[in-house]
Amino acid sequence: MRFHATFDYVPAEHEAERASNSYLMSLIAVMAGLPLPIINLIATLIFFLGNRKGTYFVRWHCTQALLSQLSLLMINTVSFWWTVSILFRDGVVTNPYISYMITVVLFNLIELIATIYTAIETRKGHHVAWWFYGDLTDMICKK
């Protein structure tokens, strides 16, 4: 994560608020959609689509928030269906399953902390670019 990375311009107050909201949106969605990982993505996607004509700073952060949800979606989906298969098919809890769940919780926790931090910083008008996701967003989000 690059803290206080440089951005092309100093965002205005309303831009900082909207950009920060994109991260808050994913946080609220995480709380609401914990058992169904797709809800997180849908909520962030709706916010992203709603702001696709916003200013560059807003679009950039909406895109980063959306992309960060994609990788979580994959690992959370696996954990969801693995749990369903245990509850309704096999009934067998194994060590790889427990280890996977702990790893998923760990990665979700890292993402949660990073998201809260980024939401706070962007609200202050600071630019925060995540490792990998920041570079990917630079590539996708055009000025």
Partner 1 sequence: MRKLFLQSLVIVASFFMTWLLVSRVDWMDIFNVRENTNRLERKLGDLYWEFFNKTEKEILDHEIVTPLDQLLSALCEANNIPRDEIKLHIVDREEINAFALPDNHIVVFSGLIRESENEAELCGVLAHELAHLELGHLMRKLVREVGLSVLISMSAGSGSPGMIKQAMQVLTSSAFDRQLERDADQKAVQYLVNTKLHPEGLANFLYKMSTTENRIPDQLFWLSTHPGGEERAMDILKEAEGMTIEEEKILSDDAWDELQAQLEEL
Residues that bind partner 1 (CB under 8 A): 71, 75, 87-96, 98-100, 102-103, 106-107, 131-132, 135-136, 139
Query: How is residue 89 annotated by DSSP?
Result: I
Q: Nearer to partner 1 by C-beta: 6 or 87? A: 87
Three-state secondary structure call for residue 129: strand
Cβ at position 81, least distance to partner 1 in Å:
15
Cβ at position 135, least distance to partner 1 in Å:
6
Cβ at position 73, least distance to partner 1 in Å:
13
Q: Nearer to partner 1 by C-beta: 53 or 92? A: 92
Q: Nearer to partner 1 by C-beta: 24 or 114? A: 114
Q: Are 125 and 16 within 8 A, CB to CB? A: yes
HEC per residue, 4-37? CCCCCCCCCHHHHHHHHHHHHHHHHHHHHCCCCC
Cβ at position 63, least distance to partner 1 in Å:
14
Q: Nearer to partner 1 by C-beta: 89 or 143? A: 89
Cβ at position 125, least distance to partner 1 in Å:
27
Nearest partner of 24 among 39, 44, 5, judged by Cα: 44
Q: How many whole angstroms separate alpha carbon 11 and alpha carbon 60?
A: 12
Task: Centre a 10 Å sphere on the Cβ of residue 42 and count the other Cβ atoms it contains.
Answer: 14
Q: Nearer to partner 1 by C-beta: 8 or 90? A: 90
